[in-house]
Structures are given as structure tokens and as C-alpha cells.
């Protein structure tokens, strides 16, 4: 399903030529420089990112009270952090610390060449959001890098792009009003990439519309690309009986939330095209984009990424660690070693795709969601997902959504939202898979059929919930911040 895995400078230059800059940007070279950066010699890559890091550290250590105090407390000087390899000498910066130091993390004044653009809030699923002021340069990089991702995905810039998201993540209506359910937002050009390039139309629809309405909407609008949450893609597949709602859709883009290999297979089969994955955060902007070889390449023009173990040191290749991001373009609030709470696999060696931008492997969920689960929990969750994926089509037809819940005593309930009653064979197959996966555990599974499954906090759907998970975001950091000598 993926496009050809390997690429090189020449084919990316040709792909970039298919994008026509708007008149007012004609002759701009920044997009050509992005292409060149993707294939630089790794040592030169390293030298460039180290230089960018040094200037962020210098600024933070002199102008930002939080970092001034931190350096004083640890006896470090700005010159002690010269390369990415030196970063573990600084502690992690988690969301709670950012929330408690919103003022101290901002400089007394911005450099003369910078302007404040606005404040981004991170989408905490409960509790107070994290508020991050961004400079104009930092915000603009999001649009610049969005186009890089679309080029990697080989999207046709003149196609229609459809988004299904929460209303507060879509553009506002006149008067700053949120889009209503049932209504379609329309733009003449794509969001973000359309700020610089000629593109086709862009349309938006609320994810809070019923799945059947989303399917009708896609069938009517006939977009070429669809971007929405991983779970929403899966719900559309289930509700449409694994038949694409619109033959026009050539590719989908899964934004935020985890996309398991089983979900990816189902979505690619149903829509008959690849699922693309950018990775970003409101606190930072665009962070990385997944290439056809399955690695997430970091946008080093905008940020640096470490995959760190429990001690904040580099995770060994092949093992899982926390994704830490250092922002390079936002002096309004320099975030250094920001703990995203996401986990990814550390990788090593050159990527088969040919790009030399540093990379990390598969994103494996949120630390705060899985850190406190009893051993074996994810095996059992995987057994249910796999049994559902392999369910014969005729049996699965009534299924619309599913949600597995684990209570404190490790009793599990699988809720199945169905359009009509399921055949008894459906439950039998799941219980068989459950027993086989958990032969050494005595965890009961109850299966119940329901009409619908309500959305979680913040309007997001989770297909697995557990009483062992802390209430997201309100949790204090699991480990105290550490400082290496």
C-alpha cells in the first residue's frame, strides 16, 4: 500500500516541482532548502542541529528565568550543552512543570526580529490545559512543514482535502463561532499548505456528527484525501462494512491517537490507499513525519527529538523510550527536553527510504496511559483487537464501535456498539482468543452489546480504558525530574 520506499534528492526535487508557489511567494527558496536538508551528509546534519541547539540554550540560559535558575542550581553553563549528546545533563520538562512555570519559562523580552503570534493550548483530556505562547516564526513553520509531509506522501496538490475533527480543532466560522454539527466548512485552498501554494479545495466536518452522517458526507463531497483521528477512520470502516464511502479517496491521514498495525491494515484495505502519519504537538508544532519505510523523520529545521529511557539517557536501539522534544523556533517559551508523554522505539543506522534526517520508530502510545497497567494487560488488549480484526465479515457486519474496559480487580468488559444483535459465534471467537492469550491469568471477560458508546473527556473516543490509568494530565509526574552531573 505504501508508495515506493526509496527516494533521493532528484526525485524529491521533481516532486516539489509539482507544487506551484502563490504569486506573492514566487522565487522563494525555503522549500528548496527543505528538500536539500533531507539528504545531507549525516555529519553535516549533526553540525547544523548542534549549532541551532547552542543558540537556543544561550538564549534560554541568559533571558529565561526558569533556565537561568536551573543552570545556577545545577552548576551548568550554557557552553556545557553544545551537542544533542549533551542534552541529558538537563532534566526533562514535563507538562505539570510547564503549567506551574508559565511565567518563568518566558523571556523578559523577545529578540527584536521576533513577534508574538498567539497562545496555543495543549489538548489535555481533563483538567487545565497547558498554555504555550508562540512566535509568528514558530507558527509559520507548521504550514511550511505540512507541505513537506504532503510532498513525502506524494499528494496531488490540486485534489480536495477533507478533515473530520472536533469543532475546536477546525477553523472558526465568522464571528469566531465553532462549526455546527451537520454543517460543512469550506475553504478555497488547503489549510496550511495553501498559505504558500496553489491547491485544491479544503472542507471540514465535525467528528461529533454520527458516523453514518460522516459516511454520507464523504459520499457527497467525493474528496481525494481524508484526514481524521485513527479511531474515526476505524469507525468509518466498521460502519461502512469495510467498503469505502467514496471511491475518490486515494489516501487517508491519521492525526493524533495511536494507529495500531491492525487498524492500519483495515483502513488501507477499506480505502484502497495508504494511511499517512504526521506527528506533532500544539506545544511545539510539526515534529516528525512517517516515511514509507515506517520511520518518523524529525523536522530538524524546527525541533530536535530524543528517545529517552527512565533515566533520561538515550534509549538503546530497538527499545522503547519517551519522546522528548526541544523546540528551535520559539523564543516566546523555549521548551527544552519537553516530555511529550508519548513512547516510541529508538532506531539506529540509515533509513531504507534514503533520507538522512534523524528518525525514531513506531509510536507506541502514551506513557501516562500504559505505565501503571498490570503486566500482561496490553497482551490481552491486543488479543481482542486481533480477534476483531480477523472476524469473518458476515459476523462483523452489525459492529459499529468497540471499547474494552479493565477495572481495578482486572475484570474486563468488552462493549460492542451494534446496529443489530450479533451472532453467538461472534462472542465465542473473542472468548476463545481471550483464553488462549491469557492461559496463565485468570482475568474474566464479559461481553455486552449496547446501542452506542459515549465519547470520553474532551470528546475523544478511546477503544481501551482502565481504572489503573491515572486521570490523564492531572497526574503528577511519575518520576521526579533528574539532573545528571
Q: Verify binding: residue 353, Zn ion, rule CB under 5 A.
A: yes
DSSP annotation of 124? -
Stretch near Zn ion under the rule CB under 5 A, chosen from 100-108, 265-273, 295-303, 449-457: 295-303
Q: Verify binding: residue 378, Zn ion, rule CB under 5 A.
A: no
- Minimum CB separation of residue 268 from Zn ion in Å reads 19
- For Zn ion, the closer of residues 291 and 336 by Cβ is 291
- Minimum CB separation of residue 295 from Zn ion in Å reads 4
DSSP notation for 136-165 = HHHHHHHHHHHHHHHHHTT--TTS-EEEEE
Q: Verify binding: residue 288, Zn ion, rule CB under 5 A.
A: no
Stretch near Zn ion under the rule CB under 5 A, chosen from 248-256, 347-355, 395-403, 414-422: 347-355
- Minimum CB separation of residue 199 from Zn ion in Å reads 25
Q: Which class for 350: exposed (0-12), middle (13-18), buried (19 or more C-beta within 10 A)?
A: exposed
- Minimum CB separation of residue 290 from Zn ion in Å reads 8
Q: Verify binding: residue 351, Zn ion, rule CB under 5 A.
A: yes
CA-closest candidate to residue 270, choices 234, 302, 301 = 234
Stretch near Zn ion under the rule CB under 5 A, chosen from 24-32, 45-53, 285-293, 392-400: 285-293
- Minimum CB separation of residue 307 from Zn ion in Å reads 15
> Can you tell me the distance from the alpha carbon of 392 to that of 397, in angstroms, rounded to the nearest whole number?
9
CA-closest candidate to residue 45, choices 362, 359, 361, 360 = 359
CA-closest candidate to residue 149, choices 319, 320, 16 = 16
Cβ(19)–Cβ(194) below 8 Å: no
Q: Verify binding: residue 293, Zn ion, rule CB under 5 A.
A: yes
DSSP notation for 328-371 = SS-TTS--SSEEEEEEEE---S--TT---S-EE--EEEEHHHHT
Q: Verify binding: residue 298, Zn ion, rule CB under 5 A.
A: no
> Can you tell me the distance from the alpha carbon of 140 to that of 329, in angstroms, rounded to the nearest whole number?
10
Instruction: Single out the residue of 207, 291, 315, 387 in contact with Zn ion (rule: CB under 5 A).
Output: 291
Of 306-345, binders to Zn ion (CB under 5 A) are: none
Q: Verify binding: residue 170, Zn ion, rule CB under 5 A.
A: no
- Torsions phi, psi of 297, nearest 5? -90, 135
> Can you tell me the distance from the alpha carbon of 262 to that of 238, in angstroms, rounded to the nearest whole number?
13
- Minimum CB separation of residue 226 from Zn ion in Å reads 24
E-strand stretches of 136-245: 161-165, 185-187, 202-206, 225-229
Q: Verify binding: residue 347, Zn ion, rule CB under 5 A.
A: no
Stretch near Zn ion under the rule CB under 5 A, chosen from 100-108, 337-345, 351-359, 370-378: 351-359
- For Zn ion, the closer of residues 105 and 353 by Cβ is 353
- Minimum CB separation of residue 216 from Zn ion in Å reads 37
What is the contact surface with Zn ion in residues (CB under 5 A)? 291, 293, 295, 351, 353, 355
Amino acid at each position: 500500500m505504501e508508495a515506493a520506499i526509496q527516494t533521493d534528492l532528484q526525485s524529491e526535487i521533481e516532486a516539489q516541482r509539482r507544487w506551484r508557489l502563490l504569486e506573492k511567494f514566487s522565487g522563494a527558496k525555503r522549500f528548496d532548502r527543505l528538500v536539500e536538508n533531507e539528504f545531507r551528509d549525516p555529519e553535516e546534519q549533526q553540525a547544523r542541529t548542534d549549532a541551532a541547539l547552542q543558540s537556543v540554550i544561550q538564549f534560554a540560559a541568559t533571558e529565561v528565568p526558569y533556565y537561568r535558575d536551573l543552570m545556577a542550581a545545577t552548576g551548568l553553563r550554557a557552553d556545557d550543552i553544545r551537542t544533542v549528546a549533551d542534552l541529558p545533563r538537563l532534566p526533562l520538562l514535563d507538562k505539570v512543570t510547564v503549567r506551574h512555570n508559565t511565567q518563568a519559562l518566558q523571556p523578559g523580552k523577545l529578540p527584536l526580529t521576533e513577534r508574538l503570534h498567539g497562545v496555543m493550548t495543549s489538548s489535555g483530556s481533563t483538567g487545565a490545559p497547558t498554555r504555550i505562547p508562540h512566535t509568528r516564526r514558530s507558527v509559520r513553520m507548521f504550514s511550511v512543514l505540512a507541505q513537506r509531509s504532503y510532498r513525502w506522501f506524494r499528494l496531488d496538490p490540486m485534489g480536495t482535502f477533507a478533515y473530520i475533527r472536533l469543532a475546536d480543532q477546525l477553523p472558526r466560522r465568522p464571528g469566531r463561532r465553532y462549526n455546527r454539527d451537520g454543517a460543512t466548512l469550506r475553504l478555497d485552498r488547503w489549510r496550511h499548505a495553501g498559505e504558500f501554494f496553489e491547491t485544491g479545495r479544503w472542507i471540514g466536518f465535525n467528528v461529533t456528527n454520527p458516523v453514518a452522517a460522516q459516511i454520507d458526507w464523504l459520499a457527497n463531497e467525493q474528496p481525494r484525501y481524508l484526514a481524521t483521528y485513527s479511531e474515526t477512520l476505524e469507525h468509518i470502516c466498521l460502519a461502512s462494512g469495510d467498503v469505502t464511502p467514496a471511491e475518490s479517496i486515494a489516501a487517508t491521514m491519521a492525526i493524533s491517537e495511536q494507529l495500531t498495525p491492525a487498524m492500519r491494515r483495515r483502513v488501507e484495505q477499506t480505502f484502497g490507499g495508504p494511511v499517512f502519519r504526521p506527528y506533532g504537538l500544539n506545544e511545539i508544532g510539526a515534529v516528525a513525519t512517517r516515511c514509507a519505510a515506517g520511520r518518523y523523520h524529525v523536522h530538524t529545521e524546527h525541533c530536535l527529538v530524543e528517545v529517552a529511557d527512565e533515566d533520561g539517557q538515550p534509549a538503546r536501539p530497538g527499545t522503547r523510550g519517551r519522546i522528548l522534544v526541544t523546540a528551535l523556533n520559539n523564543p516566546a517559551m523555549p521548551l527544552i527536553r519537553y516530555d511529550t508523554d508519548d513512547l516510541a522505539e529508538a532506531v539506529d543506522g540509515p533509513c531504507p527510504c534514503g533520507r538522512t534526517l534523524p528518525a525514531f520508530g513506531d509510536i507506541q502510545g502514551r506513557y501516562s496511559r500504559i505505565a501503571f497497567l498490570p503486566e500482561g494487560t496490553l497482551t490481552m488488549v491486543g488479543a481482542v483487537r486481533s480477534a476483531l480484526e480477523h472476524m469473518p465479515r458476515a459476523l462483523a457486519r452489525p459492529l459499529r464501535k468497540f471499547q474494552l474496559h479493565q477495572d481495578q480487580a482486572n475484570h474486563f468488559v468488552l462493549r460492542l456498539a451494534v446496529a443489530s444483535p450479533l451472532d453467538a459465534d461472534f462472542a465465542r471467537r473473542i472468548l476463545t482468543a481471550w483464553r488462549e492469550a491469557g492461559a496463565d491469568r485468570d482475568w474474566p471477560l464479559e461481553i455486552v452489546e449496547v446501542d452506542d458508546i459515549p465519547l470520553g473527556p474532551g470528546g475523544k473516543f478511546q477503544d481501551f480504558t482502565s481504572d489503573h490509568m491515572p486521570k490523564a494530565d492531572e497526574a503528577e509526574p511519575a518520576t521526579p525530574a533528574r539532573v545528571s552531573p
